[in-house]
Amino acid sequence: MSLSEVRFTAVDSRDRSDWWKRAVIYQIYPRSFQDSNGDGVGDLRGIRQRLDHLVRLGVDVIWLSPIYRSPQADNGYDISDYQDIDPAFGDLDEFDALLADVHARGMKLIMDLVVNHTSDEHPWFVESRSATAAPKRDWYIWRPPRAGFVGGEPGAEPNNWESFFSGPTWTWDERTGAYYLHLFAQKQPDLNWENPEVREAVYAMMRWWLERGVDGFRMDVINLISKHPTLPDGPVARDRAYGDGFAYYSAGPRLHEYLQEMRREVFDGRGALLTVGETPGVTMDEAPLFSDPARRELDMIFQFEHVGLDHTDGKFHPRRLQPGELAASLTAWQDALAQTGWNSLYLSNHDQPRPVTRFGDEAWWRESATALATVLHLQRGTPYVYQGEELGMTNAPFTRIDEYRDVESLNHFTEATRRGEDPDAVMSGLAAMSRDHARTPVQWDATENAGFTTGAPWIDVNPNHTTINAAAQYDDPGSVFEHYRALIDLRHRLPVVADGDFTRIDAGNPAIFAFERALREDRLLVIANLSSSPVDPVLPDELRQRWDGSATMILTNCGVDLGISATLSAWEAKVYVGHLGKPCIAR
Ligand code: TEU
C-alpha cells in the first residue's frame, strides 16, 4: 500500500502557534552552498538559484548561517555590522530578493543570531577598547590582570578559562591596560549582557530584521550570555595549562531573565515566528526551562549530548561509538522532553562531522545514511537537515593541514603540536572531527567543482562528488535524497509523526533502534538496524500481537517487507503505520 492510500486522523494546523512541530528546517551555510559570481565563495544569489532543490526536498524553513558584515575570522560568526550583508555574500537588496523568493515558494527563513559576542572590528568594540572612560567601555567584559602579575605576562589572565578555540579566553589590550573576555577566538569579544544598553541594542537589531520580514532566529550559544558574576577559575585537567570554565560561563544566574525579556521586547505580538537556541552542554533538567511554552522563552533548543558521545579527552580525541549508544542518548532526550518542552532533532550542522561517516558506515553508504535519517526524522521534535546531509555527503579526505580552513582546527593544530602532541595524531583527530568536514561545498553534480563554483573554491570540493551528488539522486527512488524527501513528506502528512508520543521498544539487541509513536488511534512503528551486520529483532509479545497482520509498511530503505519480526540486514530501516480498532484510519 502506498502512503497516498492511507488516511489518517486529520489535525487542523491552521493558526497553530506551534506550526513548527510539523515543519522541517534546512540549514544553509552560505559560504559553501552555491557561488554565483565565480569568486569561489557561496553567496545569496547562489542560494536563490538553488531554491528549487529545497522545494523538491519539501522543507518548510531555511536557517541561514551568518551573512552579516564580518571579517570572517570564524566564517561570519564574528559580526562587525548586524544590519548589513557581507560583500562576499551580496547586499541588502539581494537579501530582500532572497527573502521574497523564499516566501513566494511558501517557505520561511530564519536568521542566525550571534549575540554572545561580536567581532573585535564591530564599532561597539572599537569604541569599548578605545578608553576606559569610553561610553561603551562596559559593553564588553574587561578585567585587570590577576593580582601580583603584570598584564600580558604568562599567567596574568584574570582567570584560567580555556577558549573553545584553544588558548586562554582573555586577550591583553595594551592601550587601556586590561584583558577582554572571548570564549571563542580572539577576534570574538564577549558582549556584557549585564549592561541594559547592550540588551536594548540587540533587541532593536532583532526587531529591525523581523520588520524586514524574517521569520525568526537560531540563537548562537544563547546559554552562554549570562556569566557567573565573579568569573571564578575552573577545574584543570591533568597536563593542561588552562581550566574548564563551563560551569561559570554557561547557564548563568540571569540567563532565563534575559530570554524572557527578549521574548517580551522582540517577539510578543508578532505571529508565526520560530526561535531555536543553540545550547551546548545543556542538561535534561535545564532543557525544559528554555522550551516550556508557559515560561515564554524559546520554541526549542539544540542539545549536544549525542554529538559529544564520541569525545574522550576533548573532541579531537574521538572514539567509535558502541552499538546502541546513539539510540540510548536520543531516547533519553525524547523521554526528558516528553511532557514539557520540545526537541530539535539533528545529526549534523556546520560544526559537526558528516553523520554518514561519523555514526554510519561509508561501506554501507546509502543504507546507513537513510537508516540514520529514518530514526531521526520520525522522532518527536523538529528535524533539521544540514546542507548536503540529504545527499549523504561524507567527511572530506583531507590529510594536510593546509587543506583545513577552520579557525578551531588550525588553532588546535598549533596548540596541540606546541604542547608536544604527535602531529600525525593531531591530524587523525582533525580527520575525524574537524568542522571543515561539514563545510566542503555542496555536491550538486559530477562536473568540476561539483557545480558549486566556476572559480577556485575557498575549500576543496570532496572528490567523491563524481558519484555523490544531487543530480544523480533526483528521481532515483532508492537515493538518499528521495528517502529524505519521503521522510519529510511523512511528517507533513501524518499527524502522528508531528504530535504523537514516543516509546522506545526493546528489540533484544542494542544495535536495533525501534520505537512506536502514538496519537489517539494512529500508530507508527519504526524498526532500524544501526549496525553493519544483520540482526534478528526479538520484539515484545504484546507488540507483535498488536502489529502482526495489521502492519502496513510505508517506507523502507531496503525494498522488501518480510514482516516486523524479520531479520534486519545491515542498516535496514522500515516504517509501518497501524491503528487501534478500525482497519483504516479515517478522519
Ligand atoms: O558554536 C558553539 C559551540 O559550542 C560548538 O558547536 C562549537 O563549534 C564547538 O564546540 C567547537 O568545538 C557556535 C557556532 O555554531 C559556531 O560555528 C561558532 O564558531 C561558535 O558558536 C562561535 O560563534
Three-state SS across 524-547? EEEEEECCCCCECCCCCHHHHHHH
pLDDT tens profile 344-355:
999 999 999 999
Going by their DSSP bridges, the two strands 68-69 and 300-302 should be labelled as unpaired
- How many residues comprise the chain? 587
Q: Which residues contact 563 (CB under 8 A, 6 or more apart)?
A: 548, 551
C-alpha angle 489-491-497 in degrees, rounded to nearest 5: 145
pLDDT in the model for residue 548: 84
Query: What residues are annotated to the active site?
Result: 220, 278
User: Global pTM?
Assistant: 0.96
Question: Assign residue 452 a region: left if phi > 0, alpha if psi is -120 to 50, beta otherwise?
Answer: alpha
Does ligand 1 lie within 6 Å of residue 406's CB atom?
A: no
Average pLDDT over residues 130-140: 98
pLDDT in the model for residue 1: 47
> Mutation test of ligand 1: which of 28, 163, 221 has the most ligand atoms closer than 8 Å to its C-beta?
221
> Mutation test of ligand 1: which of 67, 351, 415 has the most ligand atoms closer than 8 Å to its C-beta?
351
Does ligand 1 lie within 6 Å of residue 74's CB atom?
A: yes
Distances (CA, A) of 207 to 91, 113, 212, 262: 19, 12, 9, 10
pLDDT in the model for residue 579: 81
Does ligand 1 lie within 6 Å of residue 222's CB atom?
A: no
- 382-386, strands of its sheet edge to edge: 300-302, 274-278, 216-219, 108-113, 61-64, 25-28, 382-386, 344-345
pLDDT tens profile 39-74:
999 999 999 999 999 999 999 999 999 999 999 999
Distances (CA, A) of 340 to 286, 327, 334: 11, 21, 11
Q: Which residues contact 2 (CB under 8 A, 6 or more apart)?
A: 554
> 515558494: which residue's cell?
105
Does ligand 1 lie within 6 Å of residue 151's CB atom?
A: no
Phi, psi of 531 (to 5 degrees): -150, 165
> Mutation test of ligand 1: which of 80, 182, 190, 220 has the most ligand atoms closer than 8 Å to its C-beta?
220
**Considering the chain, what is the average pLDDT of its residues?**
95
Does ligand 1 lie within 6 Å of residue 193's CB atom?
A: no
Among 343, 346, 395, 351, residue whose Cα is nearest residue 375: 346
Return the C-alpha cell found at 226.
Answer: 549570562
Q: Is the pLDDT of residue 6 over 60?
A: no
How many A from CA of 298 to the centre of ligand 1?
A: 19
Q: Is the pLDDT of residue 584 over 50?
A: no
What is the residue with the minimal CA distance to atom 11 of ligand 1? 164
Enclosing H/E stretch for 481:
helix 480-493
> 537579501: which residue's cell?
95
Q: Which residues contact 548 (CB under 8 A, 6 or more apart)?
A: 563, 564, 565
How many A from CA of 77 to the centre of ligand 1?
A: 9
Q: Is the pLDDT of residue 549 over 90?
A: no
Does ligand 1 lie within 6 Å of residue 69's CB atom?
A: no
Phi, psi of 481 (to 5 degrees): -60, -45
pLDDT in the model for residue 20: 96
pLDDT in the model for residue 356: 98
Does ligand 1 lie within 6 Å of residue 316's CB atom?
A: no
Average pLDDT over residues 278-303: 97
pLDDT in the model for residue 347: 98
Q: Helices marked H in 58-104 — which ranges?
A: 92-104
pLDDT in the model for residue 583: 42
For ligand 1, what atom is nearest to the CA of residue 116? 23
Rounded to the nearest angstrom, the gap between the alpha carbon of residue 197 and the centroid of all alpha carbons in its chain is 30
For ligand 1, what atom is nearest to the CA of residue 77? 23
pLDDT tens profile 253-265:
999 999 999 999 9
How many A from CA of 105 to the centre of ligand 1?
A: 31
Does ligand 1 lie within 6 Å of residue 439's CB atom?
A: no
Spatial distance between the Cα atoms of 108 and 99, rounded to a whole number of angstroms:
8
Average pLDDT over residues 6-20: 65
How many A from CA of 582 to the centre of ligand 1?
A: 49
pLDDT in the model for residue 559: 81
pLDDT in the model for residue 585: 40
What is the residue with the minimal CA distance to atom 18 of ligand 1? 77
pLDDT band per the 50, 70, 90 thresholds, residue 560: confident
For ligand 1, what atom is nearest to the CA of residue 184? 22
pLDDT band per the 50, 70, 90 thresholds, residue 79: very high
Does ligand 1 lie within 6 Å of residue 351's CB atom?
A: yes
Average pLDDT over residues 432-460: 98
What is the residue with the minimal CA distance to atom 2 of ligand 1? 221
pLDDT tens profile 103-123:
999 999 999 999 999 999 999
How many A from CA of 204 to the centre of ligand 1?
A: 24
Q: Name the residue type at position 320.
A: R
pLDDT band per the 50, 70, 90 thresholds, residue 17: confident
For ligand 1, what atom is nearest to the CA of residue 183? 22
